[in-house]
Chains A and B, each alone.
Chain A
Amino acid sequence: MTGRIWRLAVFVFVLGFTLNLVGIVSHVAVSSLARRWFATPLPGAFTTEWYAYAWREFQLADVLTVTATVAASVTALALLLGFPAAYVLARRGFPAKNAVLLLYFLPLLIPQMTYGIPLATSLYRYRIGGTIAGVILANLVPMLPLAIFVLLPFVEQISESLEWAARVHGAGRFQVFRRVVLPLALPGLLTAGLLVLVNTVANFELTFLLSGAGSQTLVVALYYAVFAAGMRPIYSVDAMAVIYMAIVLLILVAALRFVRPTQMVFRLGGK
């Protein structure tokens, strides 16, 4: 009996939470299509003109260019710097390994607001703050460790004897990397790339602290629009929110083809 009540309670809670999520997301979507909407279940008339309005007024063409530049650069750099590190961590033990792992782990553990303020202070001092380069460099701080930790299990799965076999058959180090390790690590690189991409597009705090007038990504532009609610019609803010949502969902759906949802958060007790 208690078992059944217990299961019912869990079911009702999960249902409620899911409905609440659907409500939050679809309220934004419906509002972006409303001509006017005031305390009725649905708006009286629908329109798509807020999208054109938002595109114009929030300079979304520029904002999206910045977002794409930042996301692509951070992803490329995170993989470029992260893959060699993941390779060594998977293959070798070395004296300071635990210290290095801690160094990779801290930027993921410490909230961005805590280290973002000193980071912003130093970057503004060297006049990198407020530029697109500053946004890219700052976002790389948490994204590089993320890439490394996602890549690590993939590299561990590649048998080292394959590398030895290639060496025995006369392949040089570069050839082994190019012809053996890289092709086998491709699924890992793809997964890590997608996860870094979606996280960079959605990453708020560091981008917010480092971006100036011409270096705002979409999520920061959205923050300012929501913050200044009342300056522009809420429907146009929601139109921008829907554009943002569509982009994130697109990358997320691609990412979920490769990873289980439980892998999108910290792996507890893994290594």
Chain B
Amino acid sequence: MKRGGVLLLVLPSVVYLVVMFVYPFLYGVFLSLHPAKGAAVVSLANYLAFFGDPWQLRTIAVTASIAVPNTIVTVVLALAVAYAMRRGIWAERTITALLVLPIALGTVLVAEGINGFYGPKGWLNQILQIAGVADPPRLTHNYTGVMIALFVQHFPFCFLMLLGYISGIDPALEASARVLGARPWVVFRRVMWPLIAPGAAIAFALVFVMNFGVFPSAVLVGQPAGATRTIAIAAYQQAFEHYDMSMASAIAVVMGLCQLLGLAVVVGLRGRLAATGVATVGAGKR
């Protein structure tokens, strides 16, 4: 075999992903632009219909009202906890293994667990009543339920990602700053944050994109016909309840564009965040 022959080994996987990932994507875009069956002309009718129908357009606002606050809360808390644990903690392995649970178990099981535990007859409500809360707020089958479900799902994801990132930063940098008299806040602000910012930006982008595609939680712990009818639900309904694949593809494209917009904002901010001008080396894998 010639020298380049070994490169052929990547071919099967590349061909597979082109056929099963790139092609359907392009086909979806094509389909969304051809609402009438067999019509050769490109038409924006699907997109106009989507943006002209308040019931459909609303899904963008609904999804954003879930995804944006949830992403901010998740990333800020995960960052705080991961930063506090950067030097290792007691029973770290057990705690981190426990945190992997919701990621491994998946959204459907977490949703069912939340419906029980946070439900009107669940343990949390019983504890609240014993604690003297006469009329505890409803926590499932509404906006709050979806927020809880997404947080339970994505906090561990974000935390583990940032923990791996932060604990890979050379401890000598922090130690030097301390020796030179920097207080904890200054160490964070001037030394650690510039190193953490790129990782935090990626974590933010990933969590936002996942939050924006929320489907099972929005159905199972939310109110899929009203307060938590997210854009993924709208796309699913078009495809599998109205069998309008053309419109469904259009909604999927809109969803993808919204996620892309979120990414673009994060990438834009990342340039600013990291531009604090201190050390940019030392971040690596654990």
Residues of chain A having any CB pair with chain B under 8 Å: 3, 6-7, 10, 13-14, 17-18, 20-21, 23-25, 27-28, 31, 37-41, 81-82, 84-85, 87-89, 91-92, 94, 100, 103-104, 106-107, 109-115, 117-124, 137-138, 140-141, 144-145, 148, 173, 198, 202-205, 208-209, 219, 222-223, 226-227, 229, 234, 237-238, 241, 244-245, 248-249, 252, 256, 260-270
Contacts and interface: CB of A to CB of B under 8 A. Distances in A.
Contacts of A266: 161, 202, 206
A17 B252 contact: no
A140 B16 contact: yes
Contacts of B193: none
Nearest to B212: A111
Contact of B165 (A112, A248, A268): A268
A49 B131 CA distance: 35
B220 A226 contact: yes
Contact of B213 (A103, A112, A264): A112
Interface in B1-44: 1, 6-7, 9-10, 12-14, 16-18, 20-25, 27-29, 31
Interface in B75-106: 77, 80-81, 84-85, 93, 95-106
B105 A119 contact: no
Contacts of A119: 20-21, 24
Contacts of A268: 161-162, 164-165, 199, 202-203
Contact of A121 (B27, B206, B210): B27
Nearest to A10: B84
B126 interface: yes
Given A115-B24, A138-B20, A204-B216, A10 B112 contact: no
Contact of B81 (A10, A82, A100, A238): A10
A85 B162 CA distance: 28
B124 A117 contact: no
A173 B77 contact: no
B209 A110 contact: yes
A204 B103 CA distance: 12
B259 interface: yes
B31 A41 contact: no
Nearest to A115: B25
B143 interface: no
Interface in B125-181: 126, 152, 155, 157, 160-165, 168
B220 A227 contact: yes
Contacts of B23: 122
Contacts of A269: 165, 168, 198-199, 202, 283-285
Given A18-B95, A118-B249, A137-B20, A252 B104 contact: yes
Main secondary structure of the interface of B (DSSP, over half): helix
Interface stretch (B52-60, B115-123, B269-277): B115-123
A88 B209 contact: no
Nearest to B29: A118
5 smallest beta-carbon distances between A and B, as pairs: A118-B28, A111-B213, A24-B113, A84-B9, A262-B164
A148 B10 CA distance: 10
Contacts of B102: 21, 24
Given A24-B110, A24-B152, A226-B108, A265 B161 contact: yes
A210 B81 CA distance: 38
B107 interface: yes
A223 B216 contact: yes
Contacts of A237: 112
A265 B160 contact: yes
B12 A109 contact: no
B49 to A, nearest CB: 17
Given A110-B259, A117-B235, A227-B220, A262 B96 contact: yes
A219 B285 contact: no
